[in-house]
Structure 1
Amino acid sequence: MDAPAEASAAMRPAPICVPGGDRLTADRELRRAYEWFLTSRRMPPGVRRMVADSWQRCAASGMLPGNGLLPPLRMTSQALSEYRRTHPLAPLLPTFRDLLGAGAADDGHVFAIGDADGTLLWVEGDRQTMRRAERMRFVEGAVWSEAQAGTNAPGTVLAVGQPVQILSAEHYNCAVHAWSCAAAPVREPGTGRVLGVVDLTGGATIATPPALAAVRAAALAAEAQLAGRLIAATRLTAVTTPLPLSAAGVSTTAMVKLTALGRDSALLETTGHVHRLSRRHSEIVVVLALAGRGLTGERLALELSEREVPPSTLRAEMTRLRAVLGPDLLGSRPYELLRPVRTDFGDLSVLLAEGRVREAMALYEGPLLPCSDAPAVVEPRRALEQQLRGAVLGSADAGLLRRWVDAAWGADDGPAWLALAHRLPGGSPQRAAAAARARALDGESAAAPRGLPAGVRVPVVPPQVRTYAALMQRRRS
């Protein structure tokens, strides 16, 4: 190898670590990749495809990666105040604050809510971090679209329409390299139209799976609340209108019902028929129902597995599923459900959004497809369970707490046992038993596994989901 080639090879960055790896190594290699792109205008190996696509969009627009320019302010404070007051996300601000605000402040982060154009409407969190964020103009009224700010979580979410996590030097603008961020879109129920974006911004701890899960859960909770408002409005209309209406403008006889809570073989009920779906077909139908819109084969494959799914394999599965459901229900190019689908997990979200915890608990048969590891199922499952669990723990209702810990998915929930002990009368044998169970579970969680190689992390799986999944496995064996 000649000298120029050796120098070029030395500058070429090693493969980039993805979120969840060694953050210091990842940050160093990301900066090397960025410098390589800055000097050569060629895409270095190892850059995540989503980031590489974003860098190319920014470069194609004429934006210089190393210019350090700050995004513009869209409007005056008075105009912004009026705009925010009428924005569809304004009623959801208390929900965002409950789910992200306290945690962001405690962890030294900020959370932001932006509109569909990338304008930041609310930026809140740790005061010191907010002052630092002001230096890069991450403030209310600033436009953080890709076109104005380069690759960043809120802007890239709006460009690709899915949750995004951006680490340090993955930002196209060098002025943002000290930060990491995670964001997710908030969609309008029924239409799927993006109303805005919810974002967490801060230091290295944002470059972790829990941060991405947090913004996705917040977006899901917001969409559930919006769906609850839509249903309430529809009910009010039905009371005052002599003709029966459906939210989608379709005859209710065309409605399809999907049941997937607490079971890995979902039930799909159509007019006069009940289809018991296979595990993979259950995942596909749940993913399409959650998406609420058509998905390309490539997008569907990514939602179903973290490993590569050959297009031929997916096409074969979809052909088999279409033979079961019929072409009038399952469309292709894109893959989508062609009739309105009412789901038990969607009904659960609405009940939780309306604060009807008892009804939600009665509906909850268990986690959503508990044994599924499809990425598009795992996070909604976790979000639904945590929303229900939080509602039960916050209800101060001993009866609900008892039902939770008596269920397979709540049997190992130490905080729930402790909350139950606090709610039962003093001196009660049941109170002593609940407190003892809470102490035992706390002791088990404190015993960390030993003998693991350095850098190996144990996945965090909610104990109640793990217990219920094991129960489902035993039932099948």
Structure 2
Amino acid sequence: MPTSTSSTGRSPGAPSPSRLRALHELFVAGEVDAGYLDSVAVRPVVAQSWQRSLAGGVDPDLDGARAAGAAAAVERLRQTHPLAPALPVIRRLLVDDAVDSGIVVAVSAADGTLLWVEGDPAACRRAEAMNFVPGADWSERGAGTNAPGTALAVDRELQIHGSEHFSRIVQPWSCTAAPVHDPTTGALLGAIDLTGGSDVATGQTLALVRATAMAVENHLALLRLTGIGAEPATRKPHLVVLGGDRPRWVTTDGNGHLQTTHLTGRHADILVLLSRHPEGLSADHLAVLLDEKDLDVVTVRAEMSRLRKVIGAEHLGSRPYRLRTPITSDLGEVFDALDAADVETALNRYPGPLLTQSVSPAIARLRTQLSVTLRAAVLAESAQGRAELLRRWLELPEGRDDRDGWQALRDSAGVTALARAQARGHLAGLDHELG
């Protein structure tokens, strides 16, 4: 935020609301650029957000933010989200006073998914018309310039006034939001937002939301310090095997604190295979799945013995080898989302291929299955007008050389002129490289 603002939070000399609406129309039509916006005193944080929104293919005529997942998935996320223990603090500081004030209080995850939307019942009903509801994606990528999404994008508190919103359906509203961070690691956990009329975007409101975010962070730190209200120690172990990072086994200690154990490639292979075969696997079968030629059962048994020491004997059974306790995994989350036809959640949970260094034929088959299925689902969604999902797929390492995908983006009716030009340029680069 600029240091000098009026009581409405706008900088001195900023465009009037009607002028701002006119500038927004010119910008989305491609008739003025960011340099011009800067020359007429559109706030830089807003102009830059408009640029990101336009470049990301956000449609300013969207009826509202897109859905981020099924209701059941949102409920699961609420139950496990690190901000859940601080919800009573947010309700006490913000929601209780918002009930009869025309204000909506929202709490979002770090990816922009709305988790809780509470406050004045009449205002909440009006907000539903723009899909400001739990489970909707209000990231900048999903809904364009808006206070919670842009606060997450720039990682600082801010206010968005009326026509500063990128999507036209949101422009009757104003909002104030602040990000919330993990008090130990500093990682972004989500955002707290107040949405309502023009009186929501004032200096006093900004101070209130900032103070609430600080109170939430202090509350989480206190819970962690005392162990009161911490996540139960029985939380399921979580296996991380997607993307370029080293595979790891994540559990919680008696105080609910996360404990991460890095895994060897072979141990990660075994855990993935056992998670996909809940009925269990014999030593002979596991040997074939891990290596069709050179692995014998003696080696498998030795690896299982070492794995027990790494993750705890209570998690592994034998005769046949199997997982004795339920676990979750990023791999399973992506497959579950695809099974539920929730392509967006699948893409959100997919940072890259499965265990790329693995020499296991079964892992290679599973890696190909996941990648091909997700790609096909994204292309199918793109054909239905969801070009933003295709853009995100093409940003992944395995999508950068996906010529058919870039061609589909170029030919999609749902992309901006800039996105289409970028697709043409990428295709030209691929063709040049391939001769």
User: Normalising by structure 2, what TM-score?
Assistant: 0.48
User: Normalising by structure 1, what TM-score?
Assistant: 0.44
